[in-house]
């Protein structure tokens, strides 16, 4: 049976790379930036870096706008909110387990 990739799958796949997470962090901290500035922070060939940007674009995590001869990239955070919503039940799960562990440890001498 063939699998169907969802938008959420693309976001999680994009976030799997530490390089792409760092790009997102840079865009969050420093705002929109041209490709050349972003690429300058990484020791890799431009085509390899462009592939990382393509994955981020395909996941909806960044947008691209042409400004003169430059391509300016900007963070699009909405898909990250969807990831947070997906993770919330797991956070609750672990919080409840740790609270239960604390209660057990508090009853021990």
Tens-place pLDDT, residues 60-91: 999 999 989 999 999 999 998 888 888 888 88
Please check whether residue 36 lies inside any domain of the structure: yes
pLDDT of residue 71: 92
pTM above 0.85, yes or no: no
Residue 59 lies in a domain: yes
Does 100 map to a domain? no
Q: Is the pLDDT of residue 109 over 90?
A: no
End-to-end CA distance of the chain: 55
Q: Tokens 């972003």 label which residue?
A: 38
Is 33 contained in some domain? yes
**CATH at residue 51:** 1.10.10.10
Number of domains composing the chain: 1
Within-domain flag for 99: no
Residue 52 belongs to what domain range?
7-77
The continuous run of DSSP H or E covering 64 comes out as strand 62-67
Checking 37-42 for CB contacts under 8 A at 24+ apart, the result is 38/73
Q: Is residue 18 part of a domain?
A: yes
């Amino acid at each position: 049976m063939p699998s169907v990739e969802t938008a959420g799958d693309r976001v999680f796949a994009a976030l799997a790379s530490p390089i792409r997470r760092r790009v997102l962090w840079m865009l969050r901290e420093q705002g929109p930036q041209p490709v050349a500035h972003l690429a300058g922070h990484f020791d890799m060939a431009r085509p390899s870096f462009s592939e990382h940007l393509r994955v981020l674009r395909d996941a909806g995590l960044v947008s691209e706008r042409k400004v003169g001869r430059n391509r300016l990239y900007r963070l699009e955070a909405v898909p990250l909110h969807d990831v947070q919503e997906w993770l919330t039940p797991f956070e609750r799960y672990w919080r409840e387990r740790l609270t239960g562990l604390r209660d057990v440890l508090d009853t021990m001498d």
